[in-house]
Amino acid sequence: MSILFNEKTRTFHLCNDSVSYIMTVLESGQMAQLYFGKRIHHSEDFSHFLEFAFRPMTSYLFDDDYKYTLEHISQEYGVYGSTDFRDPAAEVTGKDGGRILDFQYQGYAIEKGKPSLPGLPATYTEDDSEAETLTLFLKDPVNGLALKLFYTIFSDGGIIARSAAFVNEGDDTLHLTRAMSLCMDLPDCDYEFVHFSGAWGRERHLKTRRLEQGIQSVGSVRGHSSHNHNPFVILKRTDATEFQGEAIGFSLIYSGNFLAQAEVSTHNETRLLLGIHPHWFDWKLAPDQSFQTPEAVMVYSDKGLNHMSQTFHRLYQMRLARGYWKDKARPILINNWEATYFDFTEERLVNIATKAMACGVELFVLDDGWFGGRRHEKAGLGDWIANPELLPDGITGLAQKIEDIGMKFGLWFEPEMVNKDSDLYRKHPDWILKTPERSASHGRFQYVLDFSRKEVVDCIYEMMAKILGEAKVSYVKWDMNRSITECYSAALPADRQGEVFHRYILGVYDLYERLTSRFPQVLFESCASGGARFDPGLLYYAPQGWTSDDSDAVERLKIQYGTSYCYPVSCMGSHVSVTPNHQVYRNTPLHTRANVAYFGTFGYELDLNKLTEEEQEEVKAQISFMKQYRRLFQFGTFYRLKSPFDGDGTTSWMVVSEDKKEAIVGVYKVLNGANMPFTRISLKGLDPGICYELSSDRRGHYGDELMNAGLITTDSSVGEMAMGNIPTCDFDSRLFILKAIN
C-alpha cells in the first residue's frame, strides 16, 4: 500500500496489491482522473492517458488553444459552466448570484491511517499501518471557496474511501447547493448499472440495466435512505458474473437524502456521482465556516460480484461497525410484537419469556406499546415513561423479572417521532417539522420531531438515558416509521431552511453517538419500518438492522440476497415468525423459516406457547443448532450461488469458515414440481485439498469435487415420489453442513 507523487508530472498514484488509482494536475489547474482499476506498475509519467482532440461546438479554456476542454477530460471533482456541461459534483451561489466554480490545485498532504469525519459516521483504522490518506487542497481564486478532497486507500482489497470538505476562505457568504461525496469519471460506458430498489416489505431487490447515453439514477428525498432505493450501486462490466469480471461498488455512508447517478455523454464517457441529494439542499457558508460531506466507499473487483461483496462485508464488519458487539456473535432473541401487538400485560410478557427461555432463547425484547398512553398508534410517542397500568414496577421491574428468568432484556424506542396525543407535544407543539401556515401531514398518526434542534435531541436523550441507566436493558431496537414531509424548522431563518434535512440526520447521529458512548455494552439494532434506513451510516452506530418488516421466509430470500451485495450477514436482523405470515399470509414450513433466518442475527417473532409440543421441540433444535454455528453464519465468508431473481424459483447461498474447515449451504425452492430433473450446484470457497464430511450422506467429498463436479441437491420430486422418501413440498429448503475430516 502506498501513495506515490511525482513532483515533475504532478501525478498521484494510490495503489496496493489489488488496485491503482491515478490522477494528475492539469496545466489548467484542475484535477484530472487518469485510471482506476486493477493494480498496474508504477510509472514516472502517465500523461499518455490524457487524450485531446478538436471537436466542433466544444468550448475551450484558453485563447488560441484547442486542447483544454473540461467537457472531454475525466475529472476528479467536476463543476458545471466552464466548458464542462455534465452534471457537477458541486454548485455554489455567490453574493452576486454567480454560480461558476473553478477549483485550482494548491497542494497536498499524505498521512498514515485515516482521519475521522466530525459528526459523521465513517470507516476507520485501528492501526496506522492499515491505510494511508491523501488530502488534495484546491481553491476557487475568485470567491475564495477552498475544497479538500480526501482519499483513503486501505492496505487490503480494492477499497478507496472518499469525501470532500468546503471552507469559505473568502469575504462573502456563499450558498452551497450541491456537494457530492464522490465524482468518478470513467473513460467508457461498457457497464451495467446495478441498484437495489423496492418498497416496504420488499426492500433491496436486484435491478440491472445497461448504461446508455443520458442519465440514470436512484435516490431518496424522503429524509431517510428509504425502502425504495439504497445508497449503494454497482457498475459492472456486461460480461461480469458473480465469480469473474470487473465490478465497482459505490456505497454512501449516510442515512438521509441521497443521489446515486450515472451520466453517459454522447462520446460514451461515464460520470458517477454519489452524495447528498441536491434537491432542497442549500447550506449557508459564512466566511470561515465549513461543510463536510459524508464518506463514500468505492470497491473495485476483477474477480466478480461475490468478491466485491466480500470486500464490503469485511470492511463494514470490522472497520465501520464499532464497539463491543461488532465482532461478537449475536444473542438469539424473541420479540413480542407479532405475538401481542398492543394487547399485552406484564404477566403475558413474562409467560412468553418463560417459554422462550425453556426453548433456549437468550434475549426477550419488549416492542411498541409500553410507554405513556400508547395503547394504540394514535398516542404516546414522545413520552418515554413506562405506563404503570401495564408495568406496575416500570421497565426496571420488568427487566429484573426477565433477568431472574435467566434471559437478557431488550426494549423498543421510536425516539424521532411524536403523537399529538402526548405530553411532549402538548408542551412543545413547535418541536415538530412543519411549514408555517400549512397543514402538517401525518404518517401512522405520528409527526417528526425536529432533530436539527439540539434542545429536542437533548430532551429525548435524557428520557432514554434515564431508562437505560436505571434498568437492566441489554438491547435497544431503534425504530423510525415515517418519512419527512413539510420539512421546515422553526429554529432556523429562511435562508437556512435548505440545511434542515441534513441537520436532522446529524441530530440522529448525535443521539446515537451519545447513547452508544454512555452504554457501550448495549446492543443497538436500527429499524425504520423495517428496511427504510438500512444503510452504512447506521451500521456505524448499530451493528445490526431489521432487514425488513416482511418476515415471510420466501420473500426474505430476495430481500436478504439483495442486501448481501453490500451488507454482511452479521448485520441482517432475521426472525422466524408465525404462520400464516402476517405480511403475505403464506404458510411456510417451520424448518424453512429457520433455514432462511439462520443467515442473519436470528430470532423469533411469535408466542412459543401457541406452538404444538412437536413444534416447540423443533424450535429447541433450531436454537441449539444456531448456537453451535452462529459464528460461522454471522462471520463466515458469504457466497451467493443461485439467485432468486433468476426466475426458476430456486435460491442457494453458503458460508465458509475462515480456515475453510466448515461450511453451510442453504438450498431453497419456492414451488414443488412433478417429475423434476436431477440437480446439483457448484460450491465456492472450499479448500480443494480438504476432504469434507457431508451431512446429507455422511460420506467424504473433496473440496475440488464439490466446487467443480458440484453438490448433488436432487430431492424426492425427481421422477415419481417414491414411498418411504421424505416428501418435498412448496416452500421447502435444506441445509448441507460440511466439516473437514481430520
**What distances in angstroms separate CA 734 from CA 291, 554, 647, 693, one per listed residue?**
52, 14, 19, 16
Q: What is the pLDDT of residues 390-402, one digit of tens each?
A: 999 999 999 999 9
Q: What is the pLDDT of residue 724?
A: 55
Would you state the CATH architecture of domain 642-740?
Sandwich (2.60)
Q: Reply yes or no on whether 648 is catalytic.
A: no
- For the segment 619-627, the average pLDDT, to the nearest whole number, is 98
Checking DSSP bridges between strand 131-139 and strand 104-112, what pairing results, if any? antiparallel
Q: Is-contact 484 501, C-beta < 8 A?
A: yes
Q: Is-contact 476 444, C-beta < 8 A?
A: no
Q: Where are the domains of the chain?
A: 2-319, 333-635, 642-740
Q: Please say if the pLDDT value at position 722 is more than 80.
A: no
Residue 78 CA neighbour count, 13 Å, CB half: 27
Among 140, 535, 549, 552, the active-site one is: 549
State what percent of residues in the chain have pLDDT above 90: 93
- Kindly provide the residue ranges of all beta strands, DSSP E only, lying in 549-618, ordered along the sequence: 572-573, 575-577, 603-605
Q: Please say if the pLDDT value at position 633 is more than 60.
A: yes
CA distance 52 to 530: 50
Multiple choice CATH, 333-635, 2.40.40.20, 3.40.50.300, 3.20.20.70, 3.10.129.10: 3.20.20.70
Q: Please say if the pLDDT value at position 719 is more than 90.
A: no
Neighbours of 279 (CB within 10 A): 13
Q: What is the pLDDT of residues 527-557, one digit of tens each?
A: 999 999 999 999 999 999 999 999 999 999 9
| Fold agreement (333-635, 642-740) | no
Residue 212, amino acid: E
Q: What is the pLDDT of residues 422-434, one digit of tens each?
A: 999 999 999 999 9
Q: Please say if the pLDDT value at position 723 is more than 60.
A: no
Q: What is the pLDDT of residues 11-20, one digit of tens each?
A: 999 999 999 9
Three-class DSSP category at 14: strand
Among 383, 479, 550, 715, the active-site one is: 479
pTM above 0.85, yes or no: yes
CA distance 332 to 353: 12
Residue 235, amino acid: L
Q: What is the pLDDT of residues 229-282, one digit of tens each?
A: 999 999 999 999 999 999 999 999 999 999 999 999 999 999 999 999 999 999
State what percent of residues in the chain have pLDDT above 70: 99
CA distance 185 to 267: 13
Q: Please say if the pLDDT value at position 35 is more than 60.
A: yes
- For the segment 407-414, the average pLDDT, to the nearest whole number, is 98
- For the segment 723-731, the average pLDDT, to the nearest whole number, is 78
Tell me the sheet residues that pair with 605. Answer: 577
CA distance 208 to 220: 19
Query: Which CATH number is associated with domain 2-319?
Result: 2.70.98.60
Q: Reply yes or no on whether 404 is catalytic.
A: no
Q: What is the pLDDT of residue 264?
A: 98
Distance between alpha carbon 714 and the CA centroid of its chain, in Å?
Answer: 35
DSSP 488-500: --TTS-GGGGGGH
Q: Is-contact 678 714, C-beta < 8 A?
A: yes
Q: What is the pLDDT of residue 64?
A: 79
Which of 418-442 are b and which e, b meaning 16 or more Cβ less than 10 Å from the residue's Cβ? bbbbbebbeebeebbbbeeeeeeee
DSSP 421-433: BSHHHHH-GGGB-
Three-class DSSP category at 347: helix
In degrees to the nearest 10, what's the CA dihedral of 622, 623, 628, 630? Answer: 100
